[in-house]
Amino acid sequence: MSLTTEQILAAHKANVETLFGLTTKAFEGIEKLVELNVTASRAALQEAATHTQAVLNVKDAQELLALQASLFQPLAEKTAAYSRHLYDIASGTGAEFGKAVESKTSEVQKSFVGLVDNASKNAPAGSETAVAVIKSAVAAANNAFESVQKAVKQASDVAEANFNAVAATAVNAAKTGTTAAKKR
């Protein structure tokens, strides 16, 4: 079986559309990242100005220590929120890329299976064993690919759960540290 010019052009068109779609998704992720960083920088600048004013109004060392202690918990919470948001952007963009790869892989697999089926119909007599071996190899490769996809999904879910647990632990530790520092 040979491919026609129309089939080749259609495949190239689909690949170009996929490329532009992925490029658009990448730029959307970058836009979100830039927006997050601008917002975080603006907030940090405002907080630095507020903190500087508060430090300039401190009357003794005890008040300075209390002021510094009061900054740790909000800082830890903001850092955890920033990290979560950053993770969400990265995982969302990665998920979009993963969906596109899955879709394209599925199309290629179907196309290849169709090609093998067509070739098996036109195969000379006596080649049934070879065709069966090829079909078996294709089925095994498809099963292996699906297993890898499931394993990657599970690993991604575990990583996300661990990230959320670490962020929560960090915020709780900052709260505990701030509370202890205020009691002194």
Residue 109 contacts by C-beta under 8 Å, 6 or more apart in sequence?
A: 138, 142, 145
- Separation of alpha carbons 105 and 109, rounded Å: 6
What are the tens digits of pLDDT across the range 36-80? 999 999 999 999 899 899 889 989 888 888 888 888 778 888 888
**pLDDT band (50, 70, 90) for residue 8:** confident
pTM of the model: 0.61
**pLDDT band (50, 70, 90) for residue 184:** low
- Separation of alpha carbons 150 and 173, rounded Å: 35
- Separation of alpha carbons 121 and 114, rounded Å: 11
More confident residue, 54 or 116: 54
DSSP 123: P
pLDDT score for 183? 60
Domain-wise residue ranges, the chain: 5-183
DSSP 126: T
What are the tens digits of pLDDT across the range 144-170? 777 877 777 777 777 777 777 776 776
- Separation of alpha carbons 83 and 90, rounded Å: 10
pLDDT score for 179? 61
Q: Mean of the pLDDT values across residues 88-101?
A: 85
